[in-house]
Amino acid sequence: MSSTEALREHEAQERKANRARAKAGRSVIFKIIRCDGPGKPSRWESFKVPVEPGSNVISCLKWIAANPVTIDGKQTTPPVWDSGCLEEVCGACTMVINGKVRQSCSCLIDEYAPLEGDTITLEPMSKFPVVRDLWVDRARLFNALKRVKAWVPIDSTYAQGAGPKESPEHQQTRYRLSECMSCGCCLEACPQYNIEEDESKWDESFIGAHAISQARLFNEHETGKRLKGERLEELSDKGGVGDCGNAQNCVKVCPKHIPLTESIGAMGRATTIHAIASFFTGKK
């Protein structure tokens, strides 16, 4: 068992134990960072929220939005947060919960705050500019997908027969990588990835584990390979795979268990080989 698996197993046991001792009919304190907009100061606000079995962070935020009164009885505005599918496949509702980045929809209160008066803290991700309260702007994350040309360059959408055949093992490898929902957990946990509000610097700042893994995904596809050289050039450049400090935090927080460090290793080797090949073929 790898250390990441051991950690995950430990956390799962802890959550299970909490669920088993969760008290019915209790209230939980939510401490939330509030911020009215870019450049505005932020403040903490606390709310006392009644919990039902099956409650999660989203259902509690909805309760607060409908009853926006703090624990001190002060009327406030409904908190703002980003969310979508609520089943952990869209990636929208990512935030920092009790100090750890994750999706808020799959965060069950029973597993994190089992007893009366237990506290849950909610903070926006720190690596992206805050829009308001818990909502951050992750445009830079999607820009990284452009940098590595994360697509298969098909000729056109006209009918031209099937795609390449593929072994089930290879499909499974690609599928695991393709489950990345661009949530940004790996970036929040990464010591090399820092907030960058200046859009003109995005193409030179660290691209992040998710995009390196996407480069691997598309290099693994028969047609996707046509852009392999361009992807490796980008990853060899400033802000590429060389900026990774090997902290291995990314793989520990990935909610989809994508083998991110494996991807980083694979792309690191590929860029080296690419550089040597380019040298001997005189392309660079």
Partner 1 sequence: MSDNRVIVVGGGLAGLAASVRIAESGVPVDLFSMVPVKRSHSVCAQGGINACNEIARQQGYSEYEHFDETIYGGDFLADQHPVLEMANWAPKIIDLLDRMGVPFNRTHEGFRDLRLFGGSLFKRTHFAGATTGQQLLYALDEQTRRYETEGKVTKYEFWEFLWPITHEGRCVGIVAQDMRTMQIRAFRASAVVMATGGCGLVFGKSTNSVICTGGAASRCYQAGAAYGNPEMVQVHPTAIPGADKLRLMSESARGEGGRVWVPRKKGDTRNPVDIPEEERWYFLEERYPAYGNIVPRDIATREIFDVCVNEGMGVDGQNQVYLDLTHRDPDYLTVKLGGILDIYEKFVGVDPRFTPMKIFPAVHYSMGGLWTDYTPGDYNPDAPKPGHKSGSPIPVDAQKGHGLTIGATNNMMTSIPGLYAFGEVNFAYHGANRLGANALLSCIFDGLCNGVSVVNYIKDVKEEAPQGVFDEAVRSEQAKHDKLVASTSGGTGDKAYNPYQIAKELGDEMTAASTVVKTGPRLEQAIAKIGELMQRFGKVELGDAASWTNQSLSFTRATGDMLKIADAILRAGLLREESRGAHFRKDFPERDDSRFFKTSVARYNPETGKSDIEFVPVKAPLVEPRARTYGKSDTKKETKETAAAAS
Binding site for partner 1 (CB under 8 A): 16, 19, 36-37, 52-56, 58-59, 62, 65-66, 68, 77-78, 80, 83-92, 105-106, 108, 111, 131-132, 135, 137-138, 142, 145-146, 149-154, 156-157, 159-163, 165-168, 170-172, 174-175, 178-179, 181-182, 218, 221, 223-224
Kindly state the smallest distance separating residue 279's Cβ from partner 1, in Å: 29
Kindly state the smallest distance separating residue 195's Cβ from partner 1, in Å: 18
Beta-carbon contacts of residue 281 (< 8 Å; ≥ 6 apart): none
Kindly state the smallest distance separating residue 272's Cβ from partner 1, in Å: 25
Q: What are phi and psi of 7, to 5 degrees?
A: -65, -45
Which CB sits closer to partner 1, 9 or 52? 52
Which CB sits closer to partner 1, 140 or 252? 140
81 with 61: CB under 8 angstroms?
A: yes
- Which sign does the torsion angle of CA 87, 88, 90, 94 carry? positive
- The one-letter code for the residue type at 143 is N
The secondary structure element, H or E, covering residue 228 is helix 228-236
Kindly state the smallest distance separating residue 188's Cβ from partner 1, in Å: 17
Which CB sits closer to partner 1, 78 or 245? 78
Which CB sits closer to partner 1, 1 or 159? 159
Which CB sits closer to partner 1, 101 or 108? 108
Which CB sits closer to partner 1, 42 or 171? 171
Distance CA 137, CA 267 (A): 27
Q: What are phi and psi of 239, to 5 degrees?
A: 80, 10
Kindly state the smallest distance separating residue 125's Cβ from partner 1, in Å: 14
Output the CA torsion 235→237→239→241 (10° steps). Answer: 40
The secondary structure element, H or E, covering residue 42 is strand 42-50
Kindly state the smallest distance separating residue 209's Cβ from partner 1, in Å: 17
Which CB sits closer to partner 1, 29 or 90? 90
Kindly state the smallest distance separating residue 237's Cβ from partner 1, in Å: 17
CA distances in angstroms from 237 to 19, 220, 245, 248, 284, listed in the order given: 47, 21, 16, 21, 13
